[in-house]
Amino acid sequence: MKKIINSPDNYIKEMLEGIYIAHADDLTCVDGDLQVLVTKHKKEGKVGIVTGGGSGHLPLFLGYVGKGMIDGCAVGDVFQSPSVDQAVALTREADSGAGVLYIYGNYNGDIFTFRPAADEVEMEDDIETAEVLGADDVASAGPSAPGEKSTRRGVAGIFFVYKCAGAAADKMLSLEEVKRVAEKASNNVRTMGVALTPCTVPRVGKPSFEIDDDEMEIGMGIHGEPGIRRGKLEPADQIVDEMLEKIVGDLPYENGDEVAVLVNGLGATPLDEQYIVTRRIHQVLEEKGIKVYKYYVGEYATAIEMAGFSISLLKLDDELKEYIDHPVDTPFFKQV
Amino acid sequence: MKKIINSPDNYIKEMLEGIYIAHADDLTCVDGDLQVLVTKHKKEGKVGIVTGGGSGHLPLFLGYVGKGMIDGCAVGDVFQSPSVDQAVALTREADSGAGVLYIYGNYNGDIFTFRPAADEVEMEDDIETAEVLGADDVASAGPSAPGEKSTRRGVAGIFFVYKCAGAAADKMLSLEEVKRVAEKASNNVRTMGVALTPCTVPRVGKPSFEIDDDEMEIGMGIHGEPGIRRGKLEPADQIVDEMLEKIVGDLPYENGDEVAVLVNGLGATPLDEQYIVTRRIHQVLEEKGIKVYKYYVGEYATAIEMAGFSISLLKLDDELKEYIDHPVDTPFFKQV
């Protein structure tokens, strides 16, 4: 295990200490618990949006806490969920009377954290809550159908759910409305990833899976969950074509439809390669009559030091376009 | 070689096509040459600032082209300098009557590109030019002394030179003044890096050097140039301590001095590890009586997919603090 760390046991604590030091003007923690992270720029009367999940995915999840996006994050250990108590403390801090929306990925651990927390704050604190799950990974369950979504993993596409819901909340919409916007974004986003190398959880100390030097795994999850096909590494264009077939094929698209595209590096993939991929996405979508409204390219949701990338498409309407355009200022992501 | 590419020969062309597609509102090329990249937001009457160098370092160099920073970049092949003709075309485009400042790293290839280009545009187009080199790598030559700087490599610290000079130009200072600010930043910045893995130039197809699974190389350059010491991988804190000894020891510091700090991932190093490093930097500088004015953490100057990081310290005065605070809006880097 080749990592720049002191000890696996202190990994999360020291990482978070660094984050609070570097972003002291913008981020703080609740009741001294480093794993309950909130913005310092709380906007009174606004619907609070909070998230949470395992570490190892920076800038996901905590990196999107800030102006125009989300308000707080319960931070778990690497690939582990935060506790119910942490989610409760986070919710209490994020509420300013307009209620709190939970947006998190579709994993049992996180569901078992946030649902009991919601029950607790509704009972004890009379805080109104709602939840919207990210479940965008088309590789993790068959073609979309009613009920199918409940089995899909949440991956990088949650960025778009934060982006749209964050904008709606920033425009002071009600909890019901912000939830509606988040649901629309979640229902309209599809993602697929490909991995070239595994990643190593510090406490485990060895790679999450084995893969040959000339192999790739298409559809792999963000914790190294199995994909839909392992094969020889192919040229970038061929990989993109296969991924887009699945992604675009999973939602009805008509000629002239518009999308926002997220090309996401999984940790060790150079930006160069991500732009080679972007170029091919543009060609394919043009052929399909789909127009790209905005590109996001870079590391948005990683799997520690995994090599590979994912593509997310968010199908847009006029309302979502307005929320995509809304400015954001967080320590990890800014849109002017 | 495990890369998401189509062919090594098309690597730069396809990467640049992706960049122009994703950032069509902000970036364009000159005379159809993808390797001569300029901002679409040219500010008339402002000193033009241009740069250039080999690819493989994204977001360096072209990633800093935009509002409040620099105006254009001549893009070479991976780890190769752009041509004199490209630097000439770039200079002509970037000039709007106030002259052009070249800021680039201290490598012979780039010197042999920009100096003849400067001669050509001064003679043929009557464009006034000046140059400031980045030469911040303390590991690449002994303790600073008059003349010593000329042998040092330019690495991630050039970010601070762009940042300060870009702000000065944006405030409509003269070429002479912008050059003075760039020189001050260049003279005040020191960097050192450590590598855990090599990187692979696509056309070469094999790693740039070999290093054992339990080894690190301290002081390694951004193209894999040898460092000052190879040894067993140590805990993060110990690595930071050794690097800061060299970096801080290379400039006179007094109690209460202020710095801007850049923690830079070399390509494959997770943000988690960069923040563990940030935490230790904070502790050490506090012990030394040096105050951190602002932190930048992330990938600012990479070596393709190398694992490792560098630390840069920019010693500040009131003038440089003002320029550090100046807003920036480029596709790859934003500061609100």
Of B235, B274, B305, nearest to A6 by CB-CB distance is: B235
Contacts of B44 (CB under 8 A, 6+ apart): B96, B97
What mean pLDDT comes out for the span B232-238? 98
Q: Closest chain B residue to A12 measured between Cα atoms?
A: B272
Of A189-198, B10-19, B148-157, which gets the smallest average pLDDT? B148-157
Mean pLDDT of A84-100: 98
Looking at residue B24, its amino acid is A
Same domain, A194 and A162: no
**Per-residue pLDDT tens over the stretch A17-69:** 999 999 999 999 999 999 999 999 999 999 999 999 999 999 999 999 999 99
- Residue A273 CA to residue A55 CA, distance in Å, equals 25
Q: Is residue B162 located within the same domain as residue B17?
A: yes
- Average of pLDDT values for B148-177? 94
pLDDT computed for residue A150 by the predictor: 77
Mean pLDDT over residues B35-52, rounded?
Answer: 98
Residue A1 in any domain: the answer is no
Asked if residue B264 and residue B175 are part of one domain, the reply reads no
A275·B15 Cβ contact <8 A: yes
Sorting pLDDT into bands at 50, 70 and 90, what band is B184? very high
Q: Do A2 and B214 touch (CB under 8 A)?
A: yes
- Which chain A residues are within 8 Å of B18, Cβ to Cβ? 274-279, 282, 297
Whether A170 and A65 share a structural domain? yes
Position A151 scores a pLDDT of 85
Domain annotation covers residue A15: yes
Residue B213 with chain A: CB contacts under 8 Å = 2
Residue of A nearest to B59 (CA): A271
Same domain, A147 and A208: no
> Which residues of A participate in catalysis according to the annotation?
57, 223
CB-based burial, B57-93: b 16+ in 10 Å, e otherwise: bbbbbbbbbbbbbbbbbbbbbbbbbbbbebbbbbbbb
**Portion of chain B with pLDDT greater than 70, in percent:** 98
End residue of a domain, out of A187, A220, A237: A187
3-state secondary structure of B265: strand
Q: Does B3 fall in a domain?
A: no
- Judge whether A161 lies within some domain: yes
Residue A276 belongs to a domain with what CATH number?
Answer: 3.30.1180.20
pLDDT at A142 (0 to 100): 64
Do residues A131 and A239 share a domain? no
By annotation, the residues of B acting in catalysis are 57, 223
Mean pLDDT of chain B: 96
Percentage of chain B surpassing pLDDT 90?
96
Q: Is residue B48 part of a domain?
A: yes
Q: Is residue A136 part of a domain?
A: yes
Structural domain boundaries, residue A314:
190-324
Average pLDDT, chain A: 96
**Cβ neighbours around A332 below 10 Å, total:** 22
B166 and B213 part of one domain: no
The pLDDT, as a whole number, for residue B308 is 98
* CATH, residue A18: 3.40.50.10440
Residue B148 has pLDDT above 80, yes or no: no
Q: Exposed e or buried b for every residue in B123-135, given b needs 16+ CB within 10 A?
A: eeeebbbbbbbbb
Looking at the structure, tell me whether residues B76 and B168 fall in a common domain: yes
- Say yes or no: A175 and A207 in one domain: no
> With 80 as the cut, is the pLDDT of residue A145 above it?
no
| Interface touch A22/B270, C-beta < 8 Å | no
What is the predicted pLDDT for the residue at B146?
A: 46
Q: Is B307–A305 a contact, with Cβ atoms under 8 angstroms apart?
A: yes
Is residue A3 situated within a structural domain? no
**How many domains does chain B divide into?**
2
Q: Are A7 and B239 inside 8 Å of each other by CB?
A: no
Shortest distance between the Cα of A233 and any Cα of chain B, in A, equals 8
* Residues B83 and B57 both lie in one domain: yes
**Residue numbers in A near B273 (CB within 8 A):** 3-5, 15
| Tokens 């990633």 sit on residue | B63
Same domain, B13 and B161: yes
CA distance B17 to A277: 10
ipTM of the complex: 0.97
